[in-house]
Chains A and B, each alone.
Chain A
Amino acid sequence: MDVQSELAVDARGIARRFGPKWVLRGVSLAVHPGEVVGLLGENGSGKTTLLRILSTLLRPSAGTVSVFGRDIAIAGSEVRDDVSFLAHTPGLYDDLTALENLRFAAEMAGGSSVDLRDLIERVGLARVADERVRGFSSGMQRRLALARMILRRPRLLLLDEPYSNLDSDGTVLMNSVISEAKRTGSAAIIVLHELAPAAGILDRTVTIVDGRVMGPSLSSGSRPKSAAGGIA
Chain B
Amino acid sequence: MTWRRDWSRVRAIVWKDLVTERRSKAGFSSVTALGVTILVLFGFALGPDAQVLRDAAAGALWLAALFAGVLAFSRSYQVELESGALEQLLQYPGSRWTIYVGKLLSNLIFVGLMLVIVIVTAIILFQVRIPATWPSLVAILVLGVVGVVVLGTFYAGMASRIRAREVLLPLLLFPMLVPVLLAAMSASKALLTGDLMHEASAWTRLLIAYDMIFLVATLLAFEHVIEA
What's the count of A-B pairs with C-beta under 8 Å? 83
Q: How far is the CA of A52 from the CA of B2 in the complex (A)?
A: 26
Is the pair B5, A96 in contact by a Cβ cutoff of 8 Å? no
Chain A residues near B13: list those with CB within 8 A: 108
Q: Is the CB of B8 within 8 A of A110?
A: yes
Contact in complex: A96, B87 (CB < 8 Å): no
A71: B residues at CB distance < 8 A: none
> Does B202 count as interface, using CB distance less than 8 angstroms?
no
A89 to B87, CA, bound (A): 9
Does B95 reach chain A (CB closer than 8 Å)?
Answer: yes
Task: Say whether A80 contacts B5, CB under 8 Å.
Answer: no
Q: Which of A80, A92, A110, A111 contacts B91 (CB 8 A)?
A: A80
Q: Is B175 an interface residue (CB 8 A)?
A: no
A200 at the interface (CB under 8 A from B): no
Contacts of B96 in A (CB 8 A): 77
B92 at the interface (CB under 8 A from A): yes
Let me know if B20 and A96 touch, CB within 8 A.
yes
- B residues 43-75 in Cβ contact with A at 8 Å: none
A90/B84 contact (C-beta < 8 A), A57-B228, A107-B12, A111-B8 known: yes
Is there an interface contact between A110 and B87, defined as CB atoms closer than 8 Å? no
Minimum C-beta distance from B126 to chain A (A)? 36
Assess whether A80 is in contact with B92, with CB atoms less than 8 Å apart: yes
* Residue B227 is within 8 A (CB to CB) of chain A in the complex: yes
The one of A80, A92, A132 in contact with B85, judged by C-beta atoms closer than 8 angstroms, is A92
* A108→B12 contact, CB < 8 A: yes
* A114 located at the interface, meaning its Cβ lies under 8 Å from any Cβ of chain B in the complex: no
Partner of B82, one of A58, A84, A94: A94
Output the nearest chain A residue to B96 by Cβ-Cβ distance: A77
